[in-house]
Amino acid sequence: MPTPPDPAVLYPDVAACGSLATALRAEAESCLGAVPVTSPGTAPLLHATVASTLPHREPLQISAWLHERRWSIRGTEPFQSMPLIDGRTDDLAEVARAARAWHDGAAMKDIRRAAPFVHLTGRFEVPDLEPTRLTESEWQSIRQEARELEYAWQETYQALIEAAHAEPALRALYPFTSHWALRFSTTTRPRLTVVGPCLMANGDGTYGVGRGIVSQDLGRFATAHEAVALAVRQLPSDLGPVVLGE
């Protein structure tokens, strides 16, 4: 990989301001007002954070790309550290507008309205950390991710996710993916408790069920529904409701 250019070359306007935080304020034409924006002492041209007035939002992370002039954002919730929003743009004023909306506690759809580059991950905020709602939020994000994939096997993967979500026994569990295998937990992040087998969508259009993320030792099937049916039969019979993974 080629050595990235000096950040001052890609971002001369930011360098002139001394930090990304200062450049954001200058670019935003006062839209940030008194909003706290900070850059670290290390690589101040490349990073900035913007705090939120809401306790269930972590500070928005803003990062400059190394090889081309562009910025990325990532806004997470603090309990699981999972992103609620992300996005990338070459317009620093747009970044500032997204940062202001995040800071002010605007709804997800309103943050996107203020800055159209913002990508909503599908997760929704659960301030009271109710496990069932956290589970619903994660299912919504995984389903959206499957719809947005651009890989050749996107339809196969999406069919697997939808078939699993349609099954009440699996929908009640907290879903997560590992190496593109769909897995399940009886606890939310940050401490998962894995239960049941893994479900996999294969490049040839088939579906696998296995005890691990590489193995498909429990079977390969022509349809997602067959794979999901076997996964349900492999679940323990004494499962209770999902609880917080503390």
pLDDT in tens, 87-121: 999 999 999 999 999 999 999 999 999 999 999 99
> Does the predicted TM-score (pTM) go above 0.85?
yes
Strand segments (E) across the chain: 37-38, 47-50, 60-64, 71-76, 83-89, 119-120, 174-178, 181-185, 187-190, 198-201, 207-210, 219-221, 243-245
- What does the pLDDT look like over 11-37, one tens digit per residue? 999 999 999 999 998 886 668 888 999
Domain membership of residue 232 (yes or no) is: yes
pLDDT at residue number 36? 92
- Answer yes or no: do 109 and 166 share one domain: no
pLDDT at residue number 28? 67
Q: Whole-angstrom Cα distance, residue 217 to residue 201? A: 14
41: buried, middle or exposed (CB in 10 Å: 19+, 13-18, 0-12)? Answer: exposed
Domain span at residue 202 reads 131-245
- Answer yes or no: do 68 and 167 share one domain: no
Domain membership of residue 203 (yes or no) is: yes
Domain membership of residue 226 (yes or no) is: yes
Which DSSP symbol is given to 191?
Answer: S
Q: Please give the angle made by the CA atoms of 175, 177 and 181, to the nearest 5 degrees.
A: 115
User: Which of 120, 151, 183 delimits the end of a domain?
Assistant: 120
Q: What is the mean pLDDT of residues 221-245?
A: 96
Q: Please give the angle made by the CA atoms of 228, 232 and 234, to the nearest 5 degrees.
A: 115
- Answer yes or no: do 205 and 110 share one domain: no
Q: Is the pLDDT score of 122 beyond 70?
A: yes
- Answer yes or no: do 82 and 158 share one domain: no
160: buried, middle or exposed (CB in 10 Å: 19+, 13-18, 0-12)? Answer: buried
> For the chain, how big is the Rg over CA atoms in Å?
21
User: Which of 101, 120, 139 delimits the end of a domain?
Assistant: 120
- Answer yes or no: do 90 and 158 share one domain: no
Query: Taking Cα atoms as reference points, which of 81, 23, 29 lies closest to residue 47?
Result: 23
Lowest mean pLDDT segment, chosen from 53-57, 193-197, 209-213:
209-213
User: Which of 58, 85, 120 delimits the end of a domain?
Assistant: 120
- Answer yes or no: do 139 and 237 share one domain: yes
Q: What is the mean pLDDT of residues 57-66?
A: 98
Domain membership of residue 126 (yes or no) is: no
pLDDT at residue number 30? 67
- Answer yes or no: do 149 and 225 share one domain: yes
For the chain, the domain total comes to: 2
- Answer yes or no: do 116 and 136 share one domain: no
pLDDT at residue number 210? 95
